[in-house]
Amino acid sequence: MTETTVGIGGAAESTDMVLNIGPQHPSTHGVLRLRLVLDGERIRSAEPVIGYMHRGAEKLFEARDYRQIIMLANRHDWLSAFSNELGVVLAVERMLGMEVPERAVWTRTLLAELNRVLNHLMFLGSYPLELGGITPIFYAFREREDLQHVMEEISGGRMHYMFNRVGGLKDDLPAGWLGRARQAVAEVRSRMGVYDDLVLGNEIFRGRTRDVGVLARETVHAYGVSGPIARASGVDFDLRRDEPYLAYADLQDVLRVAIRQEGDCLARFECLLEQTHNSLALADACLDRIDELPPGPINQRLPKVLKAPEGHTYAWTENPLGLNGYYLVSKGEKTPYRLKLRSASYNNIQALTELLPGTLVADMVAILGSLFFVVGDIDK
């Protein structure tokens, strides 16, 4: 008997193709690699491969004192630098049992919301760019510049502010700064309609994102997804409302948590946009409150060598991209014994293993971009 084998190449239905996306910049927010197994044009499985930007920040925390680790924490999500700093100082202050001056509490809340707007504007502009819409990124950077100017004026930094300190803030606000900040917030708010009309009103954008990349509520809980991505899938949780810190307990009448039930790419973008509108309102409320405060200190005087007492604590905040937590363990020395970072993007990106299978390759970039991650926040 003679057997003849005929090669039919990739046309066989049972033949899968492995496709590597990256480790170039597939979403312009860092170096990520996706290992996809394809069946024709449909994704059968997806594996996020991370670690290309890993800097060992958690080990470096152990070799720096409590003033120096603020610089390291500042950088893992470079779009949320102020919020990253905030989590560290809140953890150390909790260990010390330290009360922060009221002026510092309200100013921190203001700057955290301005930082949230800066973060969201980047994604509101870059996400349409990833789908082929060039114009929104130019508007986003115009709005970001208005806010960057006031942030740079008080801190000296454009991305890495280094303005938080254990016990408060580095300096008090410059003379006239509140008026300039109020004007910047008003100018940004006056232009936010661009994203409602130019992006959400665009039928091509809605066609590329509606019912695409639907993230189930059960998957959100299983993977610890948080932030606007979780709320777009109907998970109604926001630390600012549900476990208030800073001055958020006094802002409950202004705070609005954006929720959607669809869980698709469009819902995630809508949540991000609605949250940006609300952060501008919160910033205005903080500006009003700071205007009413009497003159006073912006920080606490600290000893030359700062040592946290022996023990452990966990401080978490509602960062722009989701829940950000620091688990601090102290042995009574001037450096942390252990500082474990729980970053939002690390959990959020793992959901791709459930989100991408069954979708088309053409929708992969739309889904990937809608998770609003920063790769440094994954690799930490």
Q: Is the confidence at residue 155, as pLDDT, over 80?
A: yes
Mean pLDDT, residues 329-346 taken together: 95
Tokens of 329: 């363990």
**Among 316, 369, 300, residue whose Cα is nearest residue 100:** 300
Per-residue tokens: 370 = 């809608």
**pLDDT interval class at 342 (50, 70, 90):** very high
Give the distance, in angstroms, between the CA of residue 378 and the centroid of all CA atoms in the same chain: 11
Domains annotated on the chain, with CATH: 55-376 (1.10.645.10)
Q: Give pLDDT, residue 82.
A: 95
Question: In percent, how much of the chain has pLDDT > 90?
Answer: 78
- What is the tens place of the pLDDT at every residue in 178-224? 999 999 999 999 999 888 888 998 999 999 999 999 999 999 999 99
pLDDT level of residue 144 (50, 70, 90 thresholds): very high
**CA angle at residue 179 from 175 to 185, to 5 degrees?**
135
Q: Is 165 exposed, middle or buried (0-12, 13-18, 19+ CB in 10 A)?
A: buried
Phi, psi of 115 (to 5 degrees): -65, -35
Complete DSSP assignment for 162-216: --EETTEESSPPPTTHHHHHHHHHHHHHHHTHHIIIIITT-HHHHHHHTTSS---
Q: Is 285 helix (H, G, I), strand (E, B) or coil?
A: helix
* Angle, CA of 341, 346 and 348, to the nearest 5°: 130
Mean pLDDT score across all residues of the chain:
91
Rg of the chain's alpha carbons, rounded to an integer?
22
Residue 6 reports pLDDT greater than 50: no
d(CA 351, CA 47): 10
Give the per-residue pLDDT at 258: 95
Q: How confident is the model at residue 22 (pLDDT cuts 50, 70, 90)?
A: confident
- What pLDDT, on a 0 to 100 scale, did the predictor assign at position 246? 96
What's the average model confidence in pLDDT over 167-172?
A: 94
pLDDT in tens, 274-319: 999 999 999 999 999 999 999 999 999 999 999 999 999 999 999 9
